[in-house]
Structure 1
């Protein structure tokens, strides 16, 4: 059996995403008609690796320049997970152990693609004729059939398929059109129909994630949007969002400056540019929800399915939970915004980019250290303990690996939000939740509420980390830091009283702020 593995980052250019889905259907049909035995596997990041959830939830920032962290979370990790599933499937079919299963992966990398790709392929020893072991710990073998091809070889092959000189699962007509659209209306494949070589590079447009900020401009998306027939104008909001994100990336006011790892000896935290700030992440969520609902309205008027979906309710609730974990917003801000946009007509727009100053990495170079902990910081109910359940004598507890007592929670192989549970919460439980937990309550109370519903599944073994982060979250709330997390100097001024009060006089910090 041939196993076809496809990577879906969930933030692909939506035109390419739909094209890929049609390609998978073509592969399945061709294999069926030809009597080939295949199975298609799609690798996508879970919620813990979801790019938008992580970025808007305050866990990470966009990847820029040479930073490839996004590639790890969106492609490498999901693909590794899928490969393990494929290995397990094959082992079960053959009645052997997974580690005894030999898999040869065929990939389309080429030495000619770029200098960096050439270097990495040579380091791995990739070959067009010999399968090489690229991961010593897994024993995975990789064969690169077109490693020695140049761009003209690739498009020459496409031309041969289009002229029906080579049989293939697809005629590649749509592929050529995609290249034309992404390249601004030009594609040199036709040159090969007459066996002519063109003087210019063929169809060199590259597509990728619509969120990508590793490049200064998304030229392929811009070419599509600016096409004369206007058929891709609906993609403009996505590109506007991407450009706004890039413009604010090094903006000091768009960053959260409070570190999240407490020095166990001093009780201090670092002041440094962390993830995006509460204000900025809230703004980004509003913009994304607005572009999504307006696309749904536009698609409905055209009698077609929405051409993109950026955030599901499940993802919004995941963002809600992360905001509670980091004390980013008042309780249930994310679902309040979702309801405001979808049910009450609220709209959030991308600001005028021309009015935004140019920021560089130097603008976020500031570093400091501040006192953070007080005598109440390590109160057992400041972390992953539900004080209401404990007071009612209905709290189930468990011990973490480090011996700490925490509330027993649902755990599994990854962080997850039950999709059906998310829908039921929004439809039937939201009003009760908003009445039970007020805007003045600690953001961490949202985490306890959602975890208590059973809607949330934490990654097995991370209870200690959640306990630690909820303590930081509650401390941020008690010290009233939420509104100034974007301002390092305001944080320093505010937390100077912690040392004066808590460490020297023993007074509670809450009495000083």
Structure 2
């Protein structure tokens, strides 16, 4: 028993566990055949969700083919900042699942979900300047985890009127989880199915809600995986780290996020340390290539980063708070987004890490992508259009770090009357006055974008072009 596990249920013998599995098999078969409501299984490919998927697969495989008429959708969310080892495991598992479903005539359809480009971690942090997440500002979970899963489930509800969401949550995960599950159980209108407070017309089925952690591992190690995956590989992955919980499919804010889990996002700053990645690097020389990721994560995880952030909030307003340090009280502005310098700094760090890892990682990880071209395009769009930083530094940084030219497929990308030369002259004119520079840049950029025909450039040289005006 670990520090996170509580003795909610007395230990069971293996024979008692076998009896429970047999009863669960019948229960799953009856629920499946009861109606035409589609099933959605939320799978993170950790121990709990893998157990649920294996239980359901084996139960449905026990039905005659003519009764396997209802599609079971298996959804997994890729945040684009997952631990690379876990991400590779997930992709391999999904591929095996799809092949096995076709070969065994199983009504299982896997789906790999992603957050929208505008909502990804790097677009928000590097593009908009959101600070690294912390307990008081956990902006990442909703955008990266909850929204992609909920959107898929809502689409299922719209198409079918109702859906049953199958999860691997267990009461033994924590006392908070147990209390939440008991509360939902009290509102059950159908046997074994709990209402979903955040998703109307979606019922929740948790077949292993009363299982202990040791029973989960007994099942995975003693019952053969039906789609060809080796569960002992999963056990080996867990054995390399210190925490106890997997990163579950997150559908609401009460579900433990990656920050509280066994394997989570490599950028996660919700916890004090990424113990799983630290253990992987320390215990296996073949995983030392992940060190640049850990370095970025640790650099992001700075308690006092006020010097890296604007004194205004993201929409330009100033909010004050009373700060007490060593008995001295002061009134200071609540810091806002990262400044231009630090947004560019983080972009460079991520690109340098990606370039280095592609050189040093094993062949299977040689094409690793830490930040996608779509994200880079969106970041460039935000810097140019929302922040009016017409020096257009992203392609320049990309070229300096990777040695390659950034290809931006966005319509109209790079079409601007102003550029880095004008920005440099404007910096010189403003004499390092950041507020003055920002104001002038916004005025010039807005004028050039809204009335290009009336936009007059002073001359051909950078210094004369600084005399640009609007008629």
Provide TM-score, normalisation by structure 1. Answer: 0.58
What is the RMSD of the two structures over their aligned residues, measured on CA atoms? 3.6
2:419 to 424, 438, 446: 438
Write out per-residue CA displacement over residues 378-434 of structure 1, whole angstroms, 9 at most, x where no aligned residue. Answer: xxxxxxxxxxxxxxxxxxxxxxxxxxxxxxxxxxxxxxxxx9724x98xxx76xx58
1:343 counterpart = 2:403? yes
Write out per-residue CA displacement over residues 265-290 of structure 1, whole angstroms, 9 at most, x where no aligned residue. Answer: xxx75453112222221111111001
**CA–CA distance in 2 between the matches of 1:5 and 1:177?**
24
**Within-5 A mapping of 1:20-35:** 20-35=90-105
1:50 counterpart = 2:112? no
**CA–CA distance in 1 between the matches of 2:100 and 2:214?**
26
Shift, 1:102, TM fit = 1.9
**CA–CA distance in 1 between the matches of 2:382 and 2:119?**
13
The SS at the match of 2:240 is helix
State the partner residue of 2:288: 233
**Within-5 A mapping of 1:154-165:** 154-161=216-223, 164=224
1:7 counterpart = 2:47? no
How many correspondences in the alignment? 335
Write out per-residue CA displacement over residues 330-376 of structure 1, whole angstroms, 9 at most, x where no aligned residue. Answer: 5211111011111189xxxxxxxxxxxxxxxxxxxxxxxxxxxxxxx
Work out whether residues 41 and 82 of structure 1, in 8 Å CA contact, stay in contact via their aligned partners in 2.
no
**CA–CA distance in 2 between the matches of 1:11 and 1:297?**
19
Write out per-residue CA displacement over residues 52-90 of structure 1, whole angstroms, 9 at most, x where no aligned residue. Answer: 1111112522221365431111111111111233345xx
**CA–CA distance in 1 between the matches of 2:215 and 2:192?**
20
Work out whether residues 73 and 111 of structure 2, in 8 Å CA contact, stay in contact via their aligned partners in 1.
yes
Q: Structure 1 residues 151, 476: CA separation in 2 closer, same or farther (over 3 Å shift)?
A: farther
**Within-5 A mapping of 1:301-450:** 303-306=363-366, 308-327=368-387, 329-343=389-403, 421-422=409-410, 433=415, 436-439=417-420, 441=422
Work out whether residues 442 and 477 of structure 1, in 8 Å CA contact, stay in contact via their aligned partners in 2.
no
Write out per-residue CA displacement over residues 457-481 of structure 1, whole angstroms, 9 at most, x where no aligned residue. Answer: xxxxxxxxxxxxxxxx998722579
**CA–CA distance in 2 between the matches of 1:17 and 1:287?**
21
1:73 to 127, 131, 143: 143
1:212 counterpart = 2:212? no
Q: Structure 1 residues 475, 325: CA separation in 2 closer, same or farther (over 3 Å shift)?
A: farther
Work out whether residues 278 and 328 of structure 1, in 8 Å CA contact, stay in contact via their aligned partners in 2.
no
Shift, 1:318, TM fit = 1.2
Work out whether residues 77 and 112 of structure 2, in 8 Å CA contact, stay in contact via their aligned partners in 1.
yes
Shift, 1:305, TM fit = 4.7
Work out whether residues 112 and 150 of structure 1, in 8 Å CA contact, stay in contact via their aligned partners in 2.
yes
**CA–CA distance in 2 between the matches of 1:116 and 1:230?**
38
1:222 counterpart = 2:183? no
Shift, 1:42, TM fit = 1.8
Work out whether residues 7 and 42 of structure 1, in 8 Å CA contact, stay in contact via their aligned partners in 2.
yes
Work out whether residues 182 and 205 of structure 1, in 8 Å CA contact, stay in contact via their aligned partners in 2.
no
Q: Structure 1 residues 235, 136: CA separation in 2 closer, same or farther (over 3 Å shift)?
A: closer
1:243 to 298, 316, 320: 298
The SS at the match of 2:350 is helix
Work out whether residues 253 and 277 of structure 1, in 8 Å CA contact, stay in contact via their aligned partners in 2.
no
**CA–CA distance in 1 between the matches of 2:85 and 2:314?**
39
State the partner residue of 1:106: 166
**CA–CA distance in 1 between the matches of 2:174 and 2:137?**
17
Shift, 1:295, TM fit = 1.9
**CA–CA distance in 1 between the matches of 2:435 and 2:306?**
24
Shift, 1:115, TM fit = 2.6
The SS at the match of 2:344 is helix
1:255 counterpart = 2:302? no
**CA–CA distance in 2 between the matches of 1:24 and 1:305?**
18
**5+ residue gaps, structure 2:** 1-70, 245-259, 320-332, 425-433, 444-471
1:41 to 111, 117, 124: 111
The SS at the match of 1:104 is strand
State the partner residue of 1:398: none
Q: Structure 1 residues 25, 72: CA separation in 2 closer, same or farther (over 3 Å shift)?
A: same
**CA–CA distance in 1 between the matches of 2:386 and 2:112?**
32
State the partner residue of 1:130: 192
Q: Structure 1 residues 49, 102: CA separation in 2 closer, same or farther (over 3 Å shift)?
A: same
1:146 counterpart = 2:134? no
Work out whether residues 327 and 476 of structure 1, in 8 Å CA contact, stay in contact via their aligned partners in 2.
no
Work out whether residues 222 and 239 of structure 1, in 8 Å CA contact, stay in contact via their aligned partners in 2.
yes
Work out whether residues 377 and 408 of structure 2, in 8 Å CA contact, stay in contact via their aligned partners in 1.
no
Q: Structure 1 residues 24, 80: CA separation in 2 closer, same or farther (over 3 Å shift)?
A: same
**Within-5 A mapping of 1:483-494:** none
Moved over 6 A (4+): 473-476
**CA–CA distance in 2 between the matches of 1:115 and 1:75?**
23
1:177 to 236, 247, 250: 236
Work out whether residues 213 and 242 of structure 1, in 8 Å CA contact, stay in contact via their aligned partners in 2.
yes
State the partner residue of 2:9: none
